[in-house]
């Protein structure tokens, strides 16, 4: 079934037709819904009708299982495909359903069965590499991708999977970005590659570019939950609450019981009638970014640098919370160093002691006497290592929290006082800390 035929034939009728069904038909359905999301309802209606037909042939059950997968109903898709015709396509989408259900190690041998049954070898290997990556075996994933040659290397899916794997390995951001971009150049509607580019731009603070890419990723089908949630959060930050709610409802069409999205939807609906000073918020965000800059990033004399290090002053924000008298009280810190610090802050529109009233003196120190060197090092790690959501990360910036140690000095109630930081984000922070075996103060 070609894309042109889909323009003149109702998608529902195409799915219900008694015809052969293969990868090209899946591509046609995805393309039709990407061009017009209204077709999603037609696909859903067709599947509902198929589910009431007890006389479906095994081949038709394969078609229904694949369509259930496209609707995001992975558990139903898996059950249907396990009772279908046993074809290579049925096996391939069984494996994909297992993957989406986070059953990565179970998915791998089923991909291999699909490969043996005649499904495209390279595509199966690419998906096997993806399963290894999600299972935490990035080196194995990269090894598999390194052994794929020929035309498969030029496909958008290969370049996307390689980019995601390189990103997971770490330390090769430029290579990952280039691969994501090549994938998008090959397929402008590749949801995964668009999301990968959007996420990296989001992390680098390129808000405008990230927004454009998230919007493109959200239009592609099937769309990942991550793209829709992050786009919804950006819309909320821009006071576009109607658009945010539309993103969350898209998720709930396929995952009606998704707890995080249900909370986000309620939050967006409840705050949709509130107006914020957008420009003031942007100024605050820019200020937070400046205050979080490490002092080590600036050209200071060795004496100044050593004195600041001994005083525990690591960021520009620390300097703005420190008075001139406090600096001069430090041994070997004289007028020359003071002038140097003043000039550096003035270039940023800041001054010593400007935020002295925010000095973090109320946070009790953490008793590290019983901690091993590894546990103490954990507290020194940057908050970015927690891989928090957009909303939670912005709150960390507003609270001027840079390290995990600074975070765990806070209580849950103190975190909730931050604007746009709710119970959902608090639970997320607690879960991330629990994974590391630590808690917020008072928990």
Q: Residue 283: its pLDDT value, please?
A: 62
Q: How is residue 331 written in tokens?
A: 């041994």
Domain that holds residue 289: 284-358
pLDDT tens for 84-103 read: 999 999 999 999 999 999 99
Q: Any idea what the CATH number is for the domain that residue 409 is in?
A: 1.10.150.20
Q: What is the DSSP letter of 365?
A: P
Closest to 337 in 3D by CA, of 352, 356, 359, 347: 352
Q: Any idea what the CATH number is for the domain that residue 78 is in?
A: 1.25.40
Determine if the peptide bond prior to 175 is cis (ω within 30°). Answer: no
Integer Cα distance of 405 and 385 in angstroms: 12
25 and 97 in a single domain? The answer is yes
Residue 310 to residues 72, 330, 331, Cα–Cα distance (Å): 55, 9, 10
Q: Which of 358, 382, 411 is the last residue of a domain?
A: 358
Integer Cα distance of 88 and 144 in angstroms: 21
Query: Strand pairing partners for 382?
Result: 403
419 and 336 in a single domain? The answer is no
Residue 108 lies in a domain: yes
Query: Strand pairing partners for 294?
Result: 315
Q: How is residue 15 written in tokens?
A: 């799915």
291 and 391 in a single domain? The answer is no
Question: CA torsion angle for 27, 31, 37, 38 (degrees, to 10)?
Answer: -80
Answer yes or no: are the C-beta atoms of 111 and 128 closer than 8 Å: yes
335 and 406 in a single domain? The answer is no
40 and 109 in a single domain? The answer is yes
Closest to 436 in 3D by CA, of 402, 398, 408, 400: 408
Residue 85 CB neighbour total at 10 angstroms: 17
Q: Residue 329: its pLDDT value, please?
A: 60
CA angle at residue 288 from 284 to 289, to 5 degrees?
A: 120
Residue 382 CB neighbour total at 10 angstroms: 14
Residue 335 lies in a domain: yes
Q: What is the DSSP letter of 383?
A: G
Residue 94 lies in a domain: yes
Residue 292 lies in a domain: yes
Answer yes or no: are the C-beta atoms of 56 and 64 closer than 8 Å: yes
**Residue-level pLDDT, tens digit, the chain, 443 residues:** 444 344 434 788 888 988 888 999 999 998 888 888 888 888 989 999 999 988 899 999 999 999 999 998 999 999 999 999 999 999 999 999 999 999 999 999 999 999 999 999 999 999 999 999 999 999 999 999 999 999 999 999 999 999 999 988 888 889 999 999 999 999 998 999 999 999 888 888 888 999 999 999 988 888 888 889 889 888 888 888 889 889 988 888 877 777 888 888 887 777 654 444 444 455 666 777 778 888 887 778 888 888 788 777 888 888 888 888 777 766 567 788 888 888 888 887 888 887 776 554 445 555 555 566 776 778 888 888 888 887 787 777 767 788 888 888 888 887 776 666 788 888 888 998 888 888 888 87
Q: Residue 279: its pLDDT value, please?
A: 47
354 and 377 in a single domain? The answer is no
Answer yes or no: are the C-beta atoms of 26 and 123 closer than 8 Å: no
114 and 17 in a single domain? The answer is yes
1 and 113 in a single domain? The answer is yes
Integer Cα distance of 162 and 175 in angstroms: 10
2 and 110 in a single domain? The answer is yes
2 and 109 in a single domain? The answer is yes
Residue 267 to residues 215, 239, 254, 272, 423, Cα–Cα distance (Å): 21, 12, 20, 8, 10
Residue 196 lies in a domain: no
Integer Cα distance of 409 and 405 in angstroms: 7
403 phi and psi angles, rounded to 5 deg: -120, 165
Put simply, whether the predicted model's pTM sits higher than 0.75 gets the answer no
Residue 228 lies in a domain: no
Answer yes or no: are the C-beta atoms of 130 and 141 closer than 8 Å: yes
Integer Cα distance of 181 and 193 in angstroms: 7
Q: Residue 60: its pLDDT value, please?
A: 94
Residue 105 lies in a domain: yes
Answer yes or no: are the C-beta atoms of 318 and 356 closer than 8 Å: no
Residue 359 CB neighbour total at 10 angstroms: 14
Find where tokens 């004399």 sit. 301
346 and 427 in a single domain? The answer is no
- The residues near 254 (Cβ < 8 Å, ≥ 6 apart) are 71, 72, 73
Closest to 233 in 3D by CA, of 384, 388, 387, 391: 391
Residue 303 lies in a domain: yes
Query: Strand pairing partners for 60?
Result: none
Q: Which of 82, 99, 119 is the last residue of a domain?
A: 119
6 and 113 in a single domain? The answer is yes
> Using only C-alpha atoms, what is the Rg of the chain?
26
Task: Provide the number of structural domains found in the chain.
Answer: 3
Q: Which of 72, 93, 119 is the last residue of a domain?
A: 119
């Amino acid at each position: 079934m070609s894309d042109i035929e889909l323009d003149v034939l109702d998608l529902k009728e195409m799915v219900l037709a008694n015809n052969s069904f293969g990868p090209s038909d899946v591509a046609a359905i995805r393309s039709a819904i990407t061009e017009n999301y209204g077709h999603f309802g037609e696909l859903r209606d067709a599947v509902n009708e198929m589910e009431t037909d007890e006389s479906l042939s095994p081949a038709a059950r394969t078609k229904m299982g694949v369509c259930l997968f496209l609707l995001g109903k992975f558990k139903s898709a898996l059950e249907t495909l396990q009772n279908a015709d046993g074809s290579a396509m049925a096996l391939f989408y069984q494996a994909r359903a297992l993957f989406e259900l986070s059953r990565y190690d179970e998915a791998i041998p089923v991909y291999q069965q699909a490969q043996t049954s005649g499904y495209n070898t390279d595509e199966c290997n690419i998906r096997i590499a993806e399963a290894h990556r999600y299972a935490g075996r990035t080196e194995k994933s990269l090894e598999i991708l390194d052994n794929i040659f020929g035309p498969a290397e030029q496909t958008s899916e290969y370049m996307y999977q390689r980019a995601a794997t390189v990103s997971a390995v770490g330390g090769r951001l430029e290579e990952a970005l280039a691969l994501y971009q090549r994938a998008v150049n090959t397929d402008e509607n590749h949801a995964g590659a668009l999301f990968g580019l959007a996420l990296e731009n989001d992390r680098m603070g390129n808000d405008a570019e990230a927004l454009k890419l998230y919007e493109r990723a959200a239009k592609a089908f099937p769309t990942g939950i991550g793209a829709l949630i992050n786009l919804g959060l950006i819309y909320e930050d821009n006071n576009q609450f109607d658009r945010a709610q539309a993103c969350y409802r898209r998720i709930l069409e396929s995952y009606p019981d998704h707890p995080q999205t249900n909370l986000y939807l309620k939050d967006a609906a409840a705050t949709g009638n509130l107006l914020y000073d957008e420009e003031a918020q942007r100024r605050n965000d820019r200020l937070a970014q400046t205050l979080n800059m490490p002092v080590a990033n600036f050209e200071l004399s060795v004496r100044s640098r050593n004195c600041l290090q001994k005083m525990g002053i690591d960021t520009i924000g620390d300097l703005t919370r420190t008075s001139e008298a406090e600096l001069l009280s430090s041994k070997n810190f004289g007028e020359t160093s003071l002038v140097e610090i003043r000039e550096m802050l003035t270039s940023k529109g800041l001054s010593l002691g400007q935020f002295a009233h925010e000095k973090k003196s109320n946070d009790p120190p953490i008793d590290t006497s019983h901690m091993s060197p590894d546990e103490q090092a954990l507290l020194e790690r940057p908050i970015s290592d927690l891989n928090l959501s957009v909303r939670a990360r912005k709150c960390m910036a507003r609270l001027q929290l840079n390290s995990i140690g600074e975070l765990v000095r806070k209580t849950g109630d103190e975190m909730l006082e931050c604007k746009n930081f709710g119970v959902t984000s608090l639970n997320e922070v607690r879960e991330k800390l629990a994974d590391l075996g630590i808690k917020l103060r008072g928990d």
